[in-house]
Chains A and B, each alone.
Chain A
């Protein structure tokens, strides 16, 4: 154990962690574990990963066990040491998908397991997570390129490829802008799908490329909720049925919101007479 000088950590170092843990120490450890679990859940990690990571952190800090109950909106965990139990609840504030943070929390967990960091250091690292984000314009360029690649995989020619790139680039920029303004995810998906289809409908109306419809279909593919869907099924397979259902429903709602956007744009185009 590394001795800490600050007052806050005095309670952590009054006795070595291996032989016994005081109530105050256990509470501090519980707070750190809850923070790690909360981060993992907020950034869309799989339930099994949250369960394993919190449990491993608890064992690494010398606790007997960590029991965790996950709901789609909160995380409830109990740490046990001897006859002492501490239970705490954290609500989940969804932050979207960020695998960088999930990796970082996992790495911190392994550092704790190898006894490289103590509780105080882990707490500091979790509080000051510094995960670089990719540049927004670059991300938009490559997501648009992804959609363009989909159009190629579905048999579009090079004109379709370029048109899809432009359409989905604009849609993606709008999506990033709306996300930045902290809009509801469903609204973001609805508006993005609407813009993508609306812009795409002009290209389709002009009859560019071999299959003009493809521009409209594939530029919306950036909105496919792949993460919630895969997480939903893998949660259900591993026994977290309720949370899996919640994720599946989220994914369905997101698909529905984007489909609504698509339908509205198509109907507008048909009313306008260019489709």
Chain B
């Protein structure tokens, strides 16, 4: 139990710092930076808990993104900042970048070294994982405006 807690804290801290860097890159305004870090840290921690109880990674990403999307609604109303400003930077640590690059470099190796079943298997597995995690993340973010606030603007 204590170990899990330690892993979670470690996870949340590093995900938060990672999101902070990307928030700066996207020029997120100062008053939204702290919120961005906190949202990112908690969303990533939620996903880690779900992964720990053996939820598949795409569902874990979907649930974490849904919670993140719902949690940003009251915040965004209060400070009058559109939600994508924080949600995208907060979700960046969960984006399957490594899988995406493995897919692309795998494709190129496939061309370079010639066809082999193992290589193709890697490309297909990594590619599917990338696509499903991405769809999970962005559908999760879209849940709040699509299901709860149908055609009304949130801010």
Which A residues have a C-beta under 8 Å from some C-beta of B? 45-46, 48-49, 52, 56, 97-103, 106-107, 110, 131, 133-134, 138-139, 142-147, 149-150, 152-154, 217-218, 220-222, 224, 226-227, 229-234, 237-238, 255-256, 258-260, 262-263, 266-267
In the complex, are the beta carbons of B98 and A217 less than 8 A apart? yes
Residue of chain A at shortest CB distance from B95: A226
In the complex, are the beta carbons of B24 and A237 less than 8 A apart? no
Which B residues have a C-beta under 8 Å from some C-beta of A? 11, 14-15, 17-22, 24-29, 32, 80-82, 84-85, 87-89, 91-93, 95, 97-98, 100-101, 104-105, 107-109, 112, 134-135, 137-139, 141-142, 145-146, 153, 155
- When the two chains form the complex, which single residue of A152, A217, A218, A233 contacts B134, counting CB atoms closer than 8 Å? A233
- When the two chains form the complex, which single residue of B25, B97, B101 contacts A143, counting CB atoms closer than 8 Å? B25
A11 to B98, CA, bound (A): 57
In the complex, are the beta carbons of A153 and B24 less than 8 A apart? no
**Chain B residues whose C-beta falls within 8 Å of the C-beta of A103 in the assembled complex:** 29, 32, 81-82, 85
Please count the residue pairs between chain A and chain B whose beta carbons lie under 8 angstroms apart in the complex. Answer: 155
**Chain B residues whose C-beta falls within 8 Å of the C-beta of A226 in the assembled complex:** 22, 88, 91-92, 95
**Chain B residues whose C-beta falls within 8 Å of the C-beta of A237 in the assembled complex:** 138-139, 142, 146
A230 to B32, CA, bound (A): 19
- When the two chains form the complex, which single residue of A106, A134, A233, A259 contacts B104, counting CB atoms closer than 8 Å? A259
- When the two chains form the complex, which single residue of B21, B85, B155 contacts A145, counting CB atoms closer than 8 Å? B21
**Main SS at interface, chain B:** helix
A45 to B155, CA, bound (A): 14
Q: A230-B84, A234-B142, A237-B146 are in contact. List 14 more A-B contacts (CB 8 A).
A: A46-B84, A97-B26, A102-B84, A131-B29, A142-B24, A146-B22, A153-B93, A221-B101, A226-B22, A229-B134, A230-B88, A231-B84, A233-B139, A233-B142
With A150-B93, A226-B95, A237-B146 as known contacts, state yes or no: A99 contacts B141, CB within 8 Å: no
Residue of chain B at shortest CB distance from A256: B104
**Chain B residues whose C-beta falls within 8 Å of the C-beta of A232 in the assembled complex:** 138
In the complex, are the beta carbons of A233 and B17 less than 8 A apart? no
**Chain B residues whose C-beta falls within 8 Å of the C-beta of A217 in the assembled complex:** 98, 101
Q: In the assembled complex, how far is the CB of residue A255 from the closest CB belonging to chain B, in whole angstroms? A: 6
In the complex, are the beta carbons of B146 and A224 less than 8 A apart? no
- When the two chains form the complex, which single residue of B26, B108, B112, B135 contacts A227, counting CB atoms closer than 8 Å? B26
In the complex, are the beta carbons of B145 and A48 less than 8 A apart? yes
Q: In the assembled complex, how far is the CB of residue A195 from the closest CB belonging to chain B, in whole angstroms? A: 15
**Chain A residues whose C-beta falls within 8 Å of the C-beta of B135 in the assembled complex:** 233
In the complex, are the beta carbons of A230 and B138 less than 8 A apart? yes
**Chain A residues whose C-beta falls within 8 Å of the C-beta of B17 in the assembled complex:** 145-146, 149
Top 7 A-B residue pairs of the complex, sorted by shortest distance between their CB atoms = A146-B21, A259-B104, A233-B138, A224-B97, A142-B21, A149-B18, A146-B18
In the complex, are the beta carbons of B27 and A100 less than 8 A apart? yes
**Chain A residues whose C-beta falls within 8 Å of the C-beta of B101 in the assembled complex:** 217, 220-221, 255, 258-259, 262
In the complex, are the beta carbons of A221 and B145 less than 8 A apart? no
In the complex, are the beta carbons of B138 and A143 less than 8 A apart? no
A101 to B28, CA, bound (A): 9
- When the two chains form the complex, which single residue of A149, A152, A263 contacts B105, counting CB atoms closer than 8 Å? A263
Residue of chain B at shortest CB distance from A146: B21
